[in-house]
Structure 1
Amino acid sequence: MEPQLQHGVTDAVATVVIHHPAKRNAMTAAMWAALPPLLDDLAADPAVRALVLTGEGGTFCAGADISTLRGSPEEAQRLAVRAEEALAAFPKPTLAAIRGHCVGGGSQLAAACDLRFAEEGALFGVTPAKLGIVYPASSTRRLVSLVGPATAKYLLFSGELIDTGRALRTGLVDEVLSEGELAKRVAEFTRILVSRSQLTQAAAKEFADGRTDRDAHWTGQMRAGGDAAEGVAAFLERRPPRFTWALPGRG
């Protein structure tokens, strides 16, 4: 099977699978280019309330397919950054489910997700120093925001891999699961995500990502929508809330 991004939607959760097992799910130029339009389609689908990014089999993503860097490293990096930015801008909660190697471009994609859950034994690395490539400024800032400048420099300067224990301590991942427990935990957590208010999630995502000019917009959305009233009523009536606010979909 050709390297590709596979996807499906189940119970309001879109799952995107990096499928290139012959090269530990390394991203080809075509795969990088395919990710932004795929994310656009999933973002516009009103049936999608959360997204999971993962890799086929026992590996998340071993980075960029190095053979694609021979012609034009700059073009390959441009495609990777565009894909990373599209993932970071996805308007609904995103979660990277990580097994095995999460290296180079794999770490770039994982860092662009809102959350990262990893199985014990996963390995993480940011490896441009092994290739003489300048890591993009936007990717560097995103990494620093997750792990702090000291750990970001350690990863970028050395290109060394770190295990799940260190990744958890430094904030690179949010949860570490025992072998065989990752899929169960991701399914459980995404059920929680899709049950919560999309209004709260969308506003929180913008604020957490640094938007400082949207308070009035989201306050207006809260007043116009019914989620706040429904949430209070459900709490007082001791029942699950039925939130109805949704991001605008494609007509």
Structure 2
Amino acid sequence: MAVSDAELTVEVTGAVATVTIHNPARRNAMTPGMWRRLPVLLDGLEADPAVRALVLTGAGGTFCAGADLGDLDELLDAGDHSIAVAAEERLAAFAKPTVAAVQGACVGGGCQLAVACDLRIAAQDARFGVPPARLGLVYPAPTTRRLTRLVGPSTAKFLLFTAELVDAERALRVGLVDEVLPVDGLTDRVDAITAAIAQRSQLSVAAAKEIVDDRAGPARIAWWHRKVRDSGEAREGVAAHHERRPPNFTWSPSDRH
């Protein structure tokens, strides 16, 4: 498909949707239009019953080198209500598993998006950074808290205080990423992970995501347990295990409400 100089592209292959950040002139920096477009794309992909997992990546060997800061006064006035925070929050709340496939620079707004994903798989050339202290800006509170939950207070402070770039191996050690692969092995590994997710019980996956993200209170957890009982997913899974065959899970994320 033809792409403009700065846009988000979507490709659905089987049960996996891939959203690609494409802005080659700015090392895939997110423009205001791209920030506004992301929640719209996510709404559509979340509603698509064929999509069971989402990959977020960047074109041309770079994940995302940050955000187009645009009008500084507008940015300062927005604070925690910026279009970037709105897009990040929508990505974090996406009902299906999300995987950031990171190659090259993953800085500022790019790191913000990667941290909002469920999993982060990085190539060995990936570099991560959180630069607000270099720019005299205050990192949004929801973004700061999400980063802190992922890597812990000390590492979050190091990233925020120094604005230094860290390489993929250090990112792995501190929990910022889940795996590090050679550049030429990144796509195959992400494909394998998303294929495995797509084959699992979507009821189990959806419940796990809500509970891990602390978005399921006691009533909601009880609802999930009723769904297990009523859906037949567990009976099918156990039967398939005993019969040494792939399970035929039929529960759809559209049944989550």
TM-score greater than 0.5 by the shorter chain: yes
Which amino acid in the other structure matches residue 237 of structure 1?
A: E
In structure 1, distance between residues paired with 2:75 and 2:60: 28
TM-score (norm 2): 0.94
Decide whether the 8 Å contact of 1:49 with 1:92 is kept in 2.
yes
Residues 227-251 of structure 1: CA deviation (Å, up to 9, x unaligned):
11110000000001111111117xx
Aligned-residue identity in percent = 60
Unaligned stretches of 5+ residues in structure 1 = none
**Superposed displacement of residue 4, structure 1:** 0.5
Which amino acid in the other structure matches residue 72 of structure 1?
A: E
In structure 2, relative to structure 1, the CA distance for the partners of 1:15 and 1:83 (3 Å cut) is same
Decide whether the 8 Å contact of 2:79 with 2:140 is kept in 1.
no
Q: Select which of 236, 240, 246 maps to 2:242.
A: 236
Q: Answer yes or no: is 1:220 the counterpart of 2:238.
A: no
**Superposed displacement of residue 212, structure 1:** 4.4
Q: Could you tell me which residue of structure 1 aligns to residue 54 of structure 2?
A: 51
TM-score (norm 1): 0.96
Decide whether the 8 Å contact of 1:69 with 1:76 is kept in 2.
no
In structure 2, distance between residues paired with 1:170 and 1:7: 31
**Superposed displacement of residue 174, structure 1:** 0.2
Decide whether the 8 Å contact of 1:115 with 1:173 is kept in 2.
yes
Q: Could you tell me which residue of structure 1 aligns to residue 198 of structure 2?
A: 194
How many residues align? The count is 248
Decide whether the 8 Å contact of 2:5 with 2:25 is kept in 1.
no
Q: Answer yes or no: is 1:101 the counterpart of 2:100.
A: no
RMSD of aligned alpha carbons: 1.2
**Superposed displacement of residue 132, structure 1:** 1.2
In structure 1, distance between residues paired with 2:194 and 2:79: 32
In structure 2, relative to structure 1, the CA distance for the partners of 1:139 and 1:22 (3 Å cut) is same
Unaligned stretches of 5+ residues in structure 2 = none
Q: Answer yes or no: is 1:70 the counterpart of 2:82.
A: no
Decide whether the 8 Å contact of 2:131 with 2:163 is kept in 1.
yes
Alignment of 1:1-251 (within 5 A): 1-66=4-69, 68-74=70-76, 75=78, 78-213=82-217, 214-248=220-254
Decide whether the 8 Å contact of 2:123 with 2:186 is kept in 1.
yes
**Superposed displacement of residue 71, structure 1:** 4.5
Residues 202-236 of structure 1: CA deviation (Å, up to 9, x unaligned):
11101111134121111111111121111000000
Which amino acid in the other structure matches residue 46 of structure 2?
A: A
Decide whether the 8 Å contact of 1:29 with 1:76 is kept in 2.
no
4+ residue runs over 4 A deviation? none
Decide whether the 8 Å contact of 2:88 with 2:116 is kept in 1.
yes
In structure 2, distance between residues paired with 1:170 and 1:158: 16
